[in-house]
Structure 1
Amino acid sequence: MARTDVADAPATTGRDQLLDALDTRQAHIAVVGLGFAGLPQAVVIAQAGFTVIGIDTDGERMAQLDRGESYITDVPSSQVQHLRSEGRFRATTEPTALAQADCIVICVPTGIGADRRPALDSLEQALGTVASALRPPSLVIIESSVPPATTRRLARQFRLDGEEQVFVAHAPERIDPGNSRFGLRETPRVVGGETSASLDLAMRFYAQCGIETVPVASIEVAELTKVFENTFRFVNISLVNELAQIAEGLNVSAWDVLEAASTKPYGFMPHAPGPGIGGSCIPVIPFFLADVAERLGTPSRLIAAAEQVNRFMPKYVTQRAAALVGRRDGDLAGSHMLVLGVTYKPDQADCRHSPALPLVDQLIAAGATVRVHDPLVTEVAGLNTQAGLTPLTPDVVATADLVVVVTPHRSLDYQMVVERARCVLDTRNALSDLAAPNVVPL
């Protein structure tokens, strides 16, 4: 909507002005942070008929968007080009654009430090920038994942004297990169508001974007919901990783056990073992809960135990690799390992917290020469400098003592790998359909 000073506005409340702007799609929307969550969100908002400006500190990425080029797998460049041609979307590094926004959606990353404590610097900086630039009445929605009791604390900077004019809500993102079945519009959004007016506005905003909402009693409920969802997966992945180790000791297939257990029609939810956990959520968000629990005097022992199991998995895979090449003493000196897949998730060019990175470190520490192939990346931050990226050729496969499948991208030629490899350690059970005698599941 056209921005007017509050003093010059008609005798309607800020809530009413914003509701009208949302209902008529005259509201201008700013999305702060255009990463794996922010850019898809910005596109969905623009597709709903709003005018959207995306703001990010990464000048190179903003230049890509200005050229109509997407850097997020789930957002085709054609969508960006179409929305730009319609005048519905533009990208900038300039925070001054926030002054024209009626609704500001915060999608900047949050994380943890080396001490496993929450690291919210990017979010706090973004909110400080928003607070200095916005012009009330405004709706501010924090989609970034945060520890419980964070949003209300950070929202204090938006409080003005007198009538509520800056409405703050928390609606944590639930994006699953690469999931074509459950995208933004197919995944209900949990929403909590600082006040009832904030909740009403946030729900109206998402409804106008075609996104189903689940209103909850408070901001804290919304925060804890997201944190618990990820902790649930974190703990259950650790449990199934322990199962894999126990099953191997019993000389039975963990995958057979999981398949059989999955036939129970109630009370069981299958999770898959693997070489570790990765991404920006599951290895991170549980420690938001652990930090809050500790401050409340109720430390979460289960999260700490799950962390030990998951962090051990790269070492466990290395031990399995050593046994498969006849080095039961664990010394891999002189052996050649080929690691397939270094991103944390299949078909996604994202290496954040990828378990492939500590696995490569473990293999090299044991003495192996390691080469890595991933069709989606040309360089990998954090990859051991002694490991080289290599094309996937029959000769490369044949010269490896062991091929370790870590991230099963669909574009990999598994038939060729199985035909040329001496032995394959399949940490994801991705090659089970090939039924090859030289393939060993985790």
Structure 2
Amino acid sequence: MTPAAESLLDKIENRTARIGIIGLGYVGLPLALVMCRAGFPVLGFDIDVNRVALLNAGQTGISHIPADAIAQALEQGRFEATVDFDRLGEPDAILICVPTPLTPQRDPDLSFMRLATSQIAAHLREGQMVVLESTTWPGTTLEVVKPMLEASGKEFFLAFSPEREDPGNAAFTTRDIPKVVGGDGVDALTLANALYAAAMQSTVPVSSPSVAEAVKLTENIFRSVNIALVNELKLIYGAMGIDIWEVIEAAKSKPFGYMPFYPGPGLGGHCIPIDPFYLSWKAREYDIATRFIELAGEINTAMPAHVVEVLALALDARFQRGLNGARILLLGVAYKRNVEDTRESASLRLMDIMEQRGAQVDYHDPHVPTIPVTREHKALAGRQSVTITAQTVASYDAVLVATDHADVDYATIASAMRLGVDTRNVFERLGTDTSRVIKA
């Protein structure tokens, strides 16, 4: 190892290395707390002034991350949040946890990552380690991040370690999930692996950053393709009068050769709707068509329109009316159950489609009292969740279940609703009245 690598390794082993984390959202904040619990001092960077103030006051703003964990880290002097990126020279290791969305043309948008990297390069000092955690196409770390840092003329160590967060999953926390690590050279891999091994239960070293980048894409493409498959089976079996949910429950009794995936109203979150397109985009450089991946994307993207059509047909069959002028109550605008995250949520697309067809749409979501500003659904920002009462539910022509939060009064809804369209099988799962329920 070089003297600089040996010095940093000694700091990591002694827990004196200061860790910088850029981006204190659903990925960066849990990672910061894990590093604090491992004994490292952490300096968190974020461009959101309000978020930084909230964190420095001992609050999180993210429901599944307890405020007392932040307060404890602050009291121990191990955590500080800042908007001052001039302090990027202070940490010994900097972990980049910023969004990597798609452009409107569905091409990779690396603008947040490039901005973070340029800020690091402007303040880089000798011997710092930089680790990219943001999901991206294979080659990004070496082809984009590395040249930007090399322009500083300083010695540094570079690695990629993909985030594997599953917000709201109590069974697998940040520390529990094995950490894949790929370094640019032996020293970088040794240092990055030592850092994560000090904080996580286990690490999975791989031969390069590109392999680590490919690991994350493979995981999410696997999920995207299988969700698309079960969504397509839902359409086929539905036409045959067969309940896909009953089929899945029976199929998963097989102890080998089958893994259950479940249909829904469309994909949401920052990973599955986006990550496959990163590989499709990169594959074009090699003149390779990603037909399987793109077909899965088409099927999943078409699900919101299918759900709205089922709703329209159900309204016509039950009340001899379509969507135009109908009052619809949408249950859940978060992209998954028991979280407040609305990124890429299919629910927002459902609201847009229904309103384009003339419906009046309200929503109830105990985790999202107000719809935040999003890039693709700006007109929905500021909408507020309605309160569930029997009288309120009965005032709507139909209730559409898009997200099956646990803390919703489904019994009251089932007894009071005139018509229910259920994309999550929640009414049957919970044993409530299904006499007025259509599955979609």
TM-score w.r.t. length of structure 1: 0.94
Letter in 1 for 2:416: R
Contact conserved, 1:40 with 1:74, CA < 8 A, in 2?
A: no
The one of 350, 364, 367 aligned to 2:358: 367
User: Residues 205 and 273 from structure 1, CA distance in 2 versus in 1: closer, same or farther, beyond 3 angstroms?
Assistant: same
Matched, 1:157 2:154: no
Contact conserved, 2:315 with 2:322, CA < 8 A, in 1?
A: no
User: Residues 222 and 118 from structure 1, CA distance in 2 versus in 1: closer, same or farther, beyond 3 angstroms?
Assistant: same
How much has 1:160 moved relative to structure 2? Answer: 7.7
Matched, 1:404 2:400: yes
SS of the residue aligned with 1:176? coil
In structure 1, what is the equivalent of residue 33 of structure 2? 43
The one of 383, 387, 392 aligned to 1:391: 387
Distance 1:384 1:129 in 2: 33
Deviates more, 1:270-279 or 1:360-369: 360-369
Distance 2:65 2:380 in 1: 32
TM-score w.r.t. length of structure 2: 0.94
Letter in 2 for 1:321: L
Percent identity (aligned):
39
SS of the residue aligned with 1:324? helix
User: Residues 327 and 333 from structure 1, CA distance in 2 versus in 1: closer, same or farther, beyond 3 angstroms?
Assistant: farther
| Deviation by residue 1:175-214 (Cα, 9 ceiling, x = unmatched) | 0000111111111011101101100001100111134110
User: Residues 391 and 383 from structure 1, CA distance in 2 versus in 1: closer, same or farther, beyond 3 angstroms?
Assistant: farther
- Give the gaps of 5 or more residues in structure 2: none
In structure 2, what is the equivalent of residue 424 of structure 1? 420
The one of 83, 89, 92 aligned to 2:82: 92
SS of the residue aligned with 2:316? coil
Contact conserved, 1:184 with 1:211, CA < 8 A, in 2?
A: no
Distance 1:294 1:411 in 2: 45
How much has 1:379 moved relative to structure 2? Answer: 2.1
In structure 1, what is the equivalent of residue 349 of structure 2? 358
In structure 1, what is the equivalent of residue 129 of structure 2? 139
Q: What is the root-mean-square deviation in Å for CA atoms of aligned residues?
A: 2.0
In structure 2, what is the equivalent of residue 235 of structure 1? 225
User: Residues 67 and 161 from structure 1, CA distance in 2 versus in 1: closer, same or farther, beyond 3 angstroms?
Assistant: closer
- Give the gaps of 5 or more residues in structure 1: 1-10
In structure 2, what is the equivalent of residue 434 of structure 1? 431
In structure 2, what is the equivalent of residue 215 of structure 1? 205
* 4+ residue segments displaced more than 4 Å: 327-330, 383-388
Trace 1:260-271 onto structure 2 (pairs within 5 A). 260-271=250-261
Matched, 1:335 2:332: no
How much has 1:385 moved relative to structure 2? Answer: 4.7
Matched, 1:413 2:404: no
Matched, 1:251 2:241: yes
How much has 1:435 moved relative to structure 2? Answer: 4.7
User: Residues 385 and 78 from structure 1, CA distance in 2 versus in 1: closer, same or farther, beyond 3 angstroms?
Assistant: closer
Contact conserved, 2:181 with 2:205, CA < 8 A, in 1?
A: yes
Letter in 1 for 2:431: L
How much has 1:158 moved relative to structure 2? Answer: 2.8
Matched, 1:70 2:70: no
Deviates more, 1:11-20 or 1:113-122: 11-20
Contact conserved, 1:172 with 1:222, CA < 8 A, in 2?
A: yes
SS of the residue aligned with 1:18? helix
Letter in 2 for 1:371: D
SS of the residue aligned with 2:362? strand
